[in-house]
């Protein structure tokens, strides 16, 4: 008789939790969780350690994904209770320039723009590449400008068949 993958997965032995804390210390640690997310992580570790449930069963009990439970168990086993308190992976981990360096670079462009020079992303790209020390994509330039709340400001487009004299006459004679 062939068993389903779900049954085989549950039949594996549960994860082992390293004894960083005693059962009593772990109970206090779970109760003192500062946030709901921290409580959920700590509870998963506590259930796995005290009840010896498989990660899939623990995930089902605390309404989390099995993958998340395995991740929390691994972090706890490697780093102890502090391993679960790590911050998320957000942020600019692959930045070419730091935030202050970007601000300094853009302030030099701001001076040029205030003098009336027309600045385009293609023009800025060469100077940004000099500052960074490597080639950058045009998309990088646009993201840099957007990060610092720069936006496109330009004159309104004029129609090719528009007659300037007619427009001026309209402005003078319109009731408004």
Q: What is the pLDDT of residues 96-154, one digit of tens each?
A: 999 999 999 999 888 887 887 777 889 899 999 999 999 999 999 999 999 999 887 76
**Residue 84, C-beta contacts closer than 8 angstroms, at least 6 positions apart:** 38, 41, 42, 45, 72, 75, 76
Q: How far apart are CA 139 and CA 145, in angstroms?
A: 10
Tokens 């309404």, residue located: 63
Q: How far apart are CA 107 and CA 105, in angstroms?
A: 5
Q: Name the more confident of 176 and 68.
A: 68
Q: Tell me which residue of 151, 100, 94 sits closest to 121, measured CA to CA.
A: 151
- Under the banding of pLDDT at 50, 70 and 90, the label for residue 8 is very low
Spell out a b/e string for 21-60, using b for 16 or more CB atoms within 10 Å of the CB, else e. Answer: beeeebeebbeebeeeeeebbbbbbbbbbeeebbbbbbbe
| Percent residues over pLDDT 70 in the chain | 91
């Amino acid at each position: 008789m062939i068993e389903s993958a779900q049954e085989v997965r549950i039949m594996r032995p549960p994860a082992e939790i390293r004894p960083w804390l005693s059962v009593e210390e772990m109970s206090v640690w779970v109760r003192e969780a500062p946030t709901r997310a921290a409580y959920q992580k700590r509870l998963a570790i506590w259930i796995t350690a005290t009840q010896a449930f498989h990660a899939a069963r623990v995930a089902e009990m605390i309404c989390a994904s099995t993958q998340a439970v395995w991740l929390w168990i691994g972090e706890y086993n490697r780093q102890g209770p502090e391993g679960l308190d790590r911050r998320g992976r957000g942020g600019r981990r692959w930045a070419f320039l730091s935030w202050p360096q970007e601000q300094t670079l853009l302030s030099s462009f701001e001076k040029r723009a205030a003098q009336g020079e027309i600045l385009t992303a293609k023009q800025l790209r060469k100077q940004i590449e000099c500052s960074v020390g490597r080639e950058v994509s045009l998309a990088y330039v646009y993201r840099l400008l957007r990060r610092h709340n720069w936006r496109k400001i330009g004159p309104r487009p004029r129609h090719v068949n528009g007659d300037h004299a007619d427009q001026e006459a309209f402005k003078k004679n319109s009731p408004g």
